[in-house]
Amino acid sequence: MDNSFGNPPIISELSKMVEVDKKTLQFAFKEIVGLSIHKYVRTLKMQKALLLLEDKKLNIEDISKAVGYQSKIHFYRAFEEVFSIKPSEMRKILT
């Protein structure tokens, strides 16, 4: 899943891959990782976004698409929810 965060498999696909029902998968994942599958994928996306923000040649919209968001607005909301700062402000700090 780490390698496919831009287009992560949905929970039903994951449950088929590991041959357990969705609820069991979600419970086990949270018990082992400490995060829900959704929050884990979002964390991976945000870690990658931080790396991409260091590259001034990339605009925020390109970064949002690169980490799997269809909408720049959704990316901004998720980013601010995780870091309590706008992506553009974080870029200033990182560069």
Half-sphere exposure of 36 (CA within 13 A, CB side): 7
Structure tokens at 40: 């884990």
The count of domains in the chain is 1
Quickly state the pLDDT bin for 12 (edges 50, 70, 90).
Answer: confident
In this structure, which amino acid lies at residue 39? K
Burial degree of 76 (CB within 10 A; 0-12, 13-18, 19+) = middle
Q: Does the structure show a pLDDT above 70 at 1?
A: no
pLDDT of residue 2: 47
Domain ranges, residue 6: 2-94
* CATH number for position 9: 1.10.10.60
